[in-house]
Amino acid sequence: MLAPPGAGKGTQGERIAERYGVPRIGSGDLFREEVAQQTPLGKTVQSYLKAGDLVPDDVVLSLIMNRVIAAARTSGGYVLDGFPRTLPQAEAAADLAREANTSAQVVLYLDAPPEVLVARVAGRGENRADDSEAVAKHRLEVYTEHTKPLLDYYTKRGLVLTIDAAPPIETVSQAIFAALDKIDD
């Protein structure tokens, strides 16, 4: 899944994983778990998360890729939420996927206007360090600079499926399921 902060990656990722019986691998969840456990990795990523900055590629890859390969082998698939976020991550993931004899079937792009995204992130009420309005705006800037270029990369590979993420959750879910069911046929 590729989407700016607040577009619903976590919510929709959970719904997709449940519907299709595959695990959801969320980089943000994994990072927050590491921070909560105060692991060495958690201590490393904590400052990045608080500032709304991207965690360095090598740290992300070390945390995520083993889970991705295991999910591909044992579950026949997975939903990636929040990974990759940069072109180097996408290229490294593609190389590792080829080595593991797996590949992405679709890149789901959840799109919504910036004002909707900022309002959602700042209004989540989860008391996350990255949910203030100032950090939400910064996260959107970081996304635009580092993650949005992945759209071109995946579009060239013919993998992008764009969904309007501005409507209510259930409406977005139904649009996603309708589009994914067509691919599955």
Q: Are 136 and 5 in contact (CB under 8 A)?
A: yes
Residue 174 corresponds to which tokens in the numbers above? 């139904």
Active site residue 128: yes
Active site residue 124: yes
Which position among 19, 67, 128, 137 bears the catalytic label? 128
Q: Give the integer Cα–Cα distance in Å for 60 and 63.
A: 5
Q: Give the integer Cα–Cα distance in Å for 71 and 21.
A: 11
Residue with tokens 């996927």: 97
Active site residue 9: yes
User: What Rg do the C-alpha atoms of the chain give, in angstroms?
Assistant: 16
Q: Fill in the DSSP letter of residue 2.
A: B
Which position among 15, 24, 32, 139 bears the catalytic label? 139
Which position among 73, 98, 124, 157 bears the catalytic label? 124
Which position among 15, 24, 32, 85 bears the catalytic label? 85
Q: Which active-site residues does the annotation give? A: 9, 85, 124, 128, 139
